[in-house]
Amino acid sequence: MNIALGLLVELGYLGIKLLYAYIIHDTGVHISGFAPQSLFLFIGTFILMTVFFVAMLQFNIMAFDRQIIEGEFDLILTKPVSAQFLATLKYVETWMVIPNIVVGLGLVGYGWYESGIAFNIANIGLYLAYGVLGIVTMYCVFTLPLLLTFKLHNISALHSLIWAVWDFNNLPHRIFPSPIQIIGTVFLPIFLITNFSPLAVMGELSNVEMVWGGIAPILLFMMTCWGWKRAIRAYESGGG
């Protein structure tokens, strides 16, 4: 029953995204130089990344502050595996993401074909490599703010901000004014999550962007692990 309800909700969200994609396609307008067909590549990638977001992060983010406030984190700290791994990737959702996988792959395939991108190992490798780097970036961008829970305990306002930030990835970041592009690429690199893999196969990434797309996720991951170690050192345990 729970699985069926979850699937229904997810299908609803997906329906809204598809309607949005259809309207863009139907208008035939080029956005920031991208043809409507190629936008499907971005929207499809966004939907596929949503798979990882929902499957790996969403429920862990929602449950994270409760673990700290109620002291469930105590038991995690006594387990002989990485506490960061256990606490941030504890819940994995599988069933709810199935519609996103199907539709996301379909849209990426359609956008890829319509954009005339060669379907060869080099392009697939490039797309997957930036995809994996995007997943690493996504993990770090959404995990780093959680560390504030160790200090502030209640971060419900931050949750709302996190969901809002996620929706920035719906369309290519080139549509935003350049200050926002720089902020979203360098300082809070949310645009690296879903934009770089389609841009890379379309040959739209500059050399600097390609290098940054490779380095930033690694730096972010190192920063997250470092922040995590400092945060749990100061952990004061809740719930008696």
Indicate the burial class of 49 (C-beta count within 10 angstroms; 0-12, 13-18, 19 or more). buried
Rounded to a whole number of angstroms, the minimum distance from the CB of residue 86 to another protein is: 8
Rounded to a whole number of angstroms, the minimum distance from the CB of residue 226 to another protein is: 16
Rounded to a whole number of angstroms, the minimum distance from the CB of residue 237 to another protein is: 6
Nearer to another protein, 109 or 238 (CB): 238
Nearer to another protein, 75 or 223 (CB): 75
Rounded to a whole number of angstroms, the minimum distance from the CB of residue 53 to another protein is: 21
Residues in contact with another protein by CB under 8 A are: 70-72, 74-75, 77-81, 233, 235-237, 239-240
What is the C-alpha radius of gyration for the chain, rounded to an integer number of angstroms?
A: 19
Nearer to another protein, 168 or 235 (CB): 235
Nearer to another protein, 26 or 236 (CB): 236
